[in-house]
Amino acid sequence: MENRSCKQAAPFVKWVGGKRNIKDSLISKLPFQFNNYYEPFAGGGALFFELYKRLKQAYLSDSNLDLILAYKVIEKNPNELIEFLKIHAKKHNKEYYYKIRQQHELQDAIEIAARFIYLNKTCYNGLYRVNKSGRFNVPVGSYNNPNIIQENNILACNQALESAVIRYQDFRDIKPDKGDFVYFDPPYYPVNATSQFTSYTKSDFSEKDQIDLRNLALRLHKSGVLVMISNSNTEFIRGLYKGGIFNAHIVNAPRYVNSKADARGPVEELLILNYKVK
């Protein structure tokens, strides 16, 4: 697979908080130059897929095992994955969705990846949420023609991932060197008490995790690593990153996931940098 002029790769999953719609804002705030690229909350990988042709080496990681398995299967076995997705697409209906959702004991990585992508494309609003046992529990969505197979994009992602090292690990375990660039896109700090999207893994992303992320960013800064962090524009997050090291920029991002239609629309997010941009 050497033809890198194929279709531009794009995220193969829908992801709450995905950066596809603000990628231009992110790109405008990138460092002028950097060495290796790290994304420790890989998610849909919108920024990586936009940049991969320019990167020397990329390190993508996440603590969501099913997501990382999907990345690895796309990297190693894209055609086999596509065949499984064709089966899911042919059989898809409400009853089939719940049957597949109950398959928690799969062992084959390709089957796990196909289940993960199928559920992501057909569940309510593309929301990834698990219960305390780590089991996916989102209801089926209402779509006339969900894009389950996405053959061309999976093959494009396969090519994009040739330059990536993919790891299942906690964000605290990354090891960038001086001159490398890290983009952190963690689960956002809730903007209010009813915010619902912290159940990204069976352990919620807590205030302590947010503090640990800030402390890691400080350590990376002292090591000469360039850092960009996305998060909610809240008093708690602004307080964590106040001071001379970090500078925060407001980005208006569309919000599509809300139970009330009139609550969907642009929302202010913070883009926090440890370097200066024009």
Q: Which residue has the higher pLDDT, 62 or 197?
A: 62
> 15: pLDDT confidence band, cut at 50, 70 and 90?
confident
Residue 69 is predicted with a pLDDT of 98
Mean pLDDT of the chain: 90
39 pairs with which residues across the strands?
A: 60
Q: Is the pLDDT of residue 256 over 70?
A: no
> In Å, what is the CA distance from 244 to each residue of 142, 173, 218, 240?
48, 26, 11, 12
Residue type, 198: T
Q: Return d(Cα 142, Cα 120) in angstroms, integer.
A: 13
Average pLDDT of span 196-221: 81
CA distance 275 to 278: 10
Question: Which pLDDT does position 16 carry in this prediction?
Answer: 80
Read off the amino acid at residue 189. Answer: Y
Query: CA-to-CA distance for 130 and 52, rounded, in angstroms?
Result: 30
Strand locations in 63-139, DSSP E?
A: none
β-pairing verdict for 37-39 and 164-168: unpaired
Given a cut of 60, whether residue 80 has pLDDT beyond it is yes
- How far apart, in whole angstroms, are the C-alpha atoms of residue 75 and residue 52? 14
Task: Using alpha carbons, list the distances in angstroms from residue 8 to 11, 126, 152, 191.
Answer: 10, 22, 9, 34
CA distance readout (Å), 75 to 15, 109, 142, 145, 160: 19, 12, 30, 26, 9
pTM of this structure: 0.90
**Structure-block tokens of residue 161:** 């991932």
Eight-state DSSP code of residue 5:
T
- Which of 30-39, 115-124, 126-135 has the weakest average pLDDT? 126-135
* Dihedral angle over CA of 48, 49, 53, 59, nearest 10: 40
Burial state string for 205-240 with b = 16 or more CB within 10 A and e = fewer than 16: beeebbeebbebbbebeeeebbbbbbbbbbeebeeb
Backbone phi and psi for residue 58, each to the nearest 5 degrees, phi listed first: -115, 140
Distance between CA atoms of 73 and 67, rounded to whole angstroms?
10
| pLDDT confidence of residue 278 | 74
14 has a pLDDT exceeding 70: yes
Q: How far apart are CA 246 and CA 132, in angstroms?
A: 35
Confidence (pLDDT) at 139: 95
Measured distance CA(185)–CA(41) in Å, rounded: 6
Q: What is the dihedral of CA 41, 47, 50, 55, to 10 degrees?
A: -70
Helices 94-101 and 78-91 sit at what angle, rounded to 10 degrees? 130
> What pLDDT is stored for residue 197 in this prediction?
46
